[in-house]
Structure 1
Amino acid sequence: MVRTLLCLALLVLGGFLPVASHARPMRVVSINLCTDQLAMLVAGPGQLFSVSSLALDKNSSVMVEQAKNYHINHAKAEEVIRLKPDLVLAGTYTSYNTISLLKRLGVRVEQFAPDSGFDTIREKILRLGLVLGQEDRAKQIVHAFDMRLSEIEELQPKERKVLADYEPNSFTGGVGTLAHSMIKAAGFLHLGEELGLVGSTVKMPLETLIRNNPDYVMTWSQWSGGQARATQVLGHPALDAWFGPERRITVDTAHWICGGPFTLDAVAALQRIYLDKEKRR
């Protein structure tokens, strides 16, 4: 209650109250890492005002340098209100209290779900283009995305090897994840799909991984060399003994969190690693 009254007081004292309008927004605030990056790509000049602090985190964002050109927010309702947005971009998992408060104060909020594959990347870009009044720009981005994806897929090796993505606490993923689409596009078979797994955050005990013996095991750079209990499994002696350096692949964390045109940079990089390792075998 105190928090709500504080925000209302700020609105009155500031002499403004967001007006619901679906005209092209010209003061857009993004409070989610994934909408940060897509908005920086889709928004027109001067349209995007603020992005979240995560956009400056090199372990999470691929657009750190671009993010420096915008006001930085910390996804707090009181802070966002003071920025006088005519549109707020958020994720479906953004704090419920923050979203609810912003909506009660009359702010237009558009929420976007996490990416579950290439189709959702296309859908989000096109939807963002519609929301921002930048439909043509969004269509051009999707067209370029599809053209490059086709080029990458043409380079896939004829013989596909099996890759497992393996993360802290023995988590992996299966069909219906962005990682699955990326791994398949690079030319691998995905162990998660081979085992009938669906979605992310699926537990795969180390014994199961070794028993299925994929050709390669992939981890994110953020977790390599970590000392946390969650990451200890990634340095387990059995994992190191079974999957030596020639069968381990480390990818850049930031490119695997959110979907966008930059996702294909990660797919192309994974494919280069794959082809290089196969030449050495």
Structure 2
Amino acid sequence: MSVLDQASGLRRQALHDYPPSFAFFGADHCGQSTVAGELAAALALQRQRPLLIEHRNGQQLARRLGLPAAGTLGSVAVSLGDLNELMVSNRHGLTLVNLAASVDERTRLSPRIWRRLINEFASVEQDAALLLLDTPSLSEDPGPCCIADNLVLVLTPSSDSLMGGYAQLKRLAQDYARRRFNVLVNRAANFDEAQAIFSRLQRVAGDYLPVGLRWVGFVPDDNTIRKSQTLRRPVVEAFPDSEAAHAYLQLAQMLPQWHAPDDDTPRGSYLEHLLMTSKALADLTGH
């Protein structure tokens, strides 16, 4: 066997070593950042080694979890820094990597910086059990939702959330060929209300979109979440006996079982995939 054949075989094997990714998205004010952060905190408490990826500007996840602000992927071009500048961790084993950057900022990074970041990220990624992505608006940057293994639509009982969520399902299905979606209802009064919201979405989507929707659960409307955000601590840590904390801990236990990607083709590192997708999106939009 030649050296090239060996390298190719090792690469094929390595493609299977990366953990599954779960992208959280939804209409404005659905609480997707809170959901992603709380689930990551719950997974860390359960010693599941989550890697939380921030794609939104504003350091929202760091503030919610009581972590220090990190650099962003968009700032690396200026600082010429490494992945350590973008990464912070807590004492329970939760690691947050801030990849906030526009498509233009990603494509402007030099090949040398990309090679270094991809290699550094791949090492961190392979040590994680799963990736949770807090995604940007689809209108700003569809890349993370395009490439995530699994998509989790976060809804609330408001009509705006339902209409906005449906619009995003439609775009991901029609423009990016996504077919499978997990649906989580946030801030529901009770199980019956959450199920009713999911059923409404399922009826409309079933009539007009070629998608499969899977109910994965709900988080109750609980004032302790707002209290924990004021304290800059996750609710699963600050108020472990609250209804919301119990919901997040139960959802975190089930989250690995949500893994059912549209495409079973093995992929490389998430950051490598993001770079390739960014370039493709830039070519499509002419930027």
Structure-2-length-normalised TM-score: 0.27
- Give 1 or 2 for the bigger CA radius of gyration: 1
